[in-house]
Chain A
Amino acid sequence: MSRTLILAGIALWFTLGSLLSWHARRNLGKGMIEYFLADRKVGGFISAMTYSATTYSAFMMVGLVGLTYSSGIGSLGFEMTYLAATVILMVIFAPRYWAAGRIYRLVTPSELLSKRYGSPSAGAVSAVLCLVMLIPYASVQLMGTGYLLEILSGGAISFTAGMIIAAGVSFVFSWWAGLRSVALTDAFQAVIMLAASLLLLGFIAFALFPEGLPGALLARRDLLEVSWSFPLFLGMTLPWAFFAVTNPQVVQRLYIPSSVGNLRKMILGFSAFGFVYTVLCVVFGLAAAAKMPGLEKADNAMAMLLSSVPAPLALVVFLSIMAAAVSTMNSIILTLSSMFGRDVVKALLPDISEESELRICRLLIPIITIACFFFARMQLGLIAVLSAMASGGLLMQLPATLGAFFWKKATAAGAVSSMVVGGLAVGFMYVEGMKPLGHWPPLWGILLSGAVFIAVSLATKPPLDTDRFLSSVECFVKERFWS
């Protein structure tokens, strides 16, 4: 694909996104809740699309397609389990986060831990854990865009230039009007992601496989067998199954729908988007395996597939992958900046004004963007390890989160120690490449983290406000959702 065509496509996409950001900025009010949660007044469709675009990154069209290409149908089980688990958790947890957010005027997911456990250190530890785990994950989004641009342009656009473009777009979309801008541009990008995938499916089905796509896929029976081992499936699936309550960029979105009805639309809209998008990406992986077997690097399957479609369609699909990367990255940057301001800076300087707090948070947006860029530029093997362990590391917040809503004896000391011990254990096992008894680090990490959480909580005293917190949230949930 020519450099001019690619740059023209990016310019058009960026212009449309910027117009949406500009429109969002016209409605921007003052304060942290306004900037980071759009004043909790987001409609159902936009909530569903921003949740979807934030969740589904460039991994889907590059990583999942490659994984399916190389290992077959096990990847469908992995990704579908993630989707179903997310919906299951959202039905239980979304009303509680939504309620607690309104009752206690919460801005970040970690702030809920601080409030529930009566200790700013619980939120601060959670925020630091998220910063450590999510910066590498966001950096991988930049790297993916950089590599893809370099491959598709035949080297005319360098890896670094591609990353600068993606980082710049992410910065503009998130900094300009906070969540109002991110939510609108995410919705726009989610529509691009779905539309491009459907177009690609149409081309593959009718032009690449005129003899019939289902028949061609059935001919590769080896890919339709479950070739994954159970420990591999468990190790891959376990951290992602709890993504909905452990990844702050999606948890923060549970605060934003304007009403109970819109929260429901968010869950159902995400369900529909996730199902269609997952099936499409898996079919692309199977189609690539049927059409062009024997690729040396499975992650190149999508790039090779794009090389056999007309340039305008390839451009639209490429833009959809870039949109997926940018929509995930700008959401992470925005959430991390709010967490650093609210859960770290405000914990250290409790008397800081909201205006100063917001100024610090906004200053952090370019700083985190630049940090991600330099992290990605290093192209270290360590980045791959860190990004792989991101979901496993974030899983260590699960005991503290469950305890926050469902266990009266849970304490701040239990929450903090479970996150620290679990996070360090998972990090150590990933860096050392350890898989005791053949099982992946997140399994051992969550067992250890859960045991520490229970033991330390039982040995310490729960905060005095526990009953008040739990009953206020439960009453709100029962009255507004289930009555």
Chain B
Amino acid sequence: MNTFAGGEALTRKEKLWVLFSLLYGIVNVAVPFTILRKAGSFAFWNLITAAVLLAGVWVTSGWAGKTDHEGEAR
């Protein structure tokens, strides 16, 4: 029995998002604390955050047309 709902609960796009987030988490720390420690972190942190925010625009693009005003689900 699969006790984790996550495997079946997440859609393909959500799984991609989780993988992207893990990659972000590693790069976001590894680069500034190693090769960019002396210089370049200001630009790096701005760019990588902008990349995550833009990816958020892409991943949620399918929600955009859904403008129905929901009542309570019954």
Contact = CB atoms under 8 A, between A and B. Distances in A.
A407 B4 contact: yes
A230 B21 CA distance: 20
A482 B62 contact: yes
A156 interface: no
A405 B66 contact: no
Contact of A77 (B41, B66, B72): B41
Size band of the interface chain B makes with A: 35 or more
Nearest to A223: B42
A84 B70 contact: no
Given A226-B32, A226-B41, A92 B53 contact: no
A105 interface: yes
Contact of A80 (B21, B39, B46, B59): B46
A40 to B, nearest CB: 8
Contact of A225 (B29, B37, B60): B37
B8 to A, nearest CB: 8
Interface centre among A105, A233, A481 (most CB of B within 10 A): A481
Interface in A29-47: 40-41
A226 B37 contact: yes
Contact of B17 (A77, A91, A102): A91
Interface string A397-410: 00000000111110
A481 B62 CA distance: 7
A190 B41 CA distance: 28
Interface in A357-381: none
B59 A279 contact: no
A87 B52 contact: yes
Interface centre among B38, B45, B46, B48 (most CB of A within 10 A): B45
B26 interface: no
B14 A264 contact: no
Contacts of B29: 230, 233
Contacts of B4: 406-408
Contacts of B42: 73, 76, 224
A417 interface: no
Contacts of A221: 39
Interface stretch (A130-138, A255-263, A293-301, A345-353): A255-263
Interface residues of A, number: 49
Interface string B16-51: 011001001000110011001111011001101110
A405 B70 contact: no
Contacts of B46: 76, 80, 279
Contacts of A275: 49-50, 53
A129 B67 CA distance: 36
Interface stretch (A201-209, A311-319, A472-480): A472-480
Contact of A103 (B49, B62, B73): B73
Interface in A84-109: 84, 87-88, 90-92, 99, 102-103, 105
Contact of B13 (A259, A405, A470, A482): A482
B50 to A, nearest CB: 7
A87 B56 contact: yes
A267 interface: yes
Contacts of B14: 91-92, 482
B33 to A, nearest CB: 6
18 contacts: A77-B45, A84-B49, A91-B14, A99-B73, A102-B70, A226-B32, A226-B41, A230-B33, A233-B33, A259-B69, A267-B56, A272-B53, A275-B49, A406-B4, A408-B5, A409-B3, A480-B70, A482-B13
Interface of A: 40-41, 73, 76-77, 80-81, 83-84, 87-88, 90-92, 99, 102-103, 105, 221, 224-226, 230, 233, 258-264, 267-268, 271-272, 275, 279, 405-409, 470, 474, 476, 478, 480-482
